[in-house]
Amino acid sequence: MIHLTRMILQRLALGVLTLFVVSVVIFGAVELLPGDIAQEILGQSATEQTVAALREELGLNDPAHVRYLNWLGGVLSGDFGRSLANGREISSLLASRFGYTLFLAAYAAAIAVPLAITLGVLAALYCNSIFDRLINILSLSAISFPEFFVAYILLYLLSAEHAIFPSIADYGSQASLGEMLYRTFLPAITLVLVITAHMMRMTRAAIVNLLAQPYIEMARLKGLSPARVILRHALPNALAPIINVVALNLAYLVTGVVIVEVVFVYPGLGQLMVDSVATRDITVVQACCLVFASIYILLNLTADVLSIATNPRLLHRGR
């Protein structure tokens, strides 16, 4: 238990350091953007005095490192500043949109994770059969298609050609759970089709790699059925890579939904970031990037910890 706690603390410290580096990269990337932010906000017709006053108000005349430290200090205290487009508190904007993104990610994960693991186990159980080859072909096809292509195909087939599901996924604030699930079905299935293939193929590969182990051969010699051999002996020992790929895909669900949200006009963090880029609302873009980076780093650390915790050999490899 002491070793596990020490490992978790080490991973958390590494995550904090990584997040600090990411914050520097985000701020530096914004600094490299061409043009004057104050000029973009006020428009080309603004006078030099007005632009200078806005630059002073926004602190753009301060050195870059001073502005970064001020921004970082505000973030650490929970104050992301105000939107340059509408003057609203950025923290309230993020809070109102984060719930939408989290719901869509949870909806897709609830379908994709059990489906991918089940298909991966079946593919390993019937390895090299027609079913296994068909599943591999379908999964490779799903991986090859980008999200926007899958989204537009689903929109055409299930919304335009056959009006089964709505093309706009915004369900408002007073919708029931059934209405929320119905209106967000197309974006959720789009994400499911993209991430299921990765998890299914990793599950299959992890189990197949264990089938040649001596303890698997012993289980077969005892007369156990192939399904029992995989479920009772191979699957528990393949949990580490499976948990890792599941957690990484969950991180993608939260951080990689930008394109899907834009296609289906879904009011999540991804849509907020795209709208903010269009309006040159740099402070909101910075906040969204930092939130996405934080979630991705946290889920990566979770995947690392869980994969090591389920495999004691990794935990004690240094002893």
Which domains are present in the chain? 2-76 (no CATH), 95-315 (1.10.3720.10)
At position 21, the amino acid (one-letter code) is V
Please give the backbone phi and psi of residue 82, each rounded to the nearest 5 degrees, phi first: -120, 150
Convert the pLDDT of each residue in 11-35 to its tens digit: 888 888 988 998 899 888 877 777 6
Q: What's this model's pTM, rounded to 2 decimal places?
A: 0.82
Q: What is the mean pLDDT of the chain?
A: 83
Convert the pLDDT of each residue in 246-290 to its tens digit: 888 888 887 777 888 888 988 888 888 888 887 778 888 888 888
pLDDT value of residue 304 = 78
For helices 90-125 and 130-144, what crossing angle results, to 10°?
160
Nearest CA-CA partner of 43 in 224, 279, 309? 279
**176 in the Ramachandran plot: left (φ > 0), alpha (ψ -120 to 50) or beta?**
beta
Asked whether residue 73 carries a pLDDT value surpassing 70, the answer given is yes
Q: Give the mean model confidence (pLDDT) for residues 83-103.
A: 85
pLDDT value of residue 318 = 46
* d(C-alpha 127, C-alpha 210), whole Å: 13
Q: Give the mean model confidence (pLDDT) for residues 66-70.
A: 85
Which of 10 and 40 is assigned the larger pLDDT? 10
Q: Give the mean model confidence (pLDDT) for residues 44-57.
A: 78
* d(C-alpha 262, C-alpha 121), whole Å: 34
* pLDDT-derived band at 114, boundaries 50, 70, 90: very high
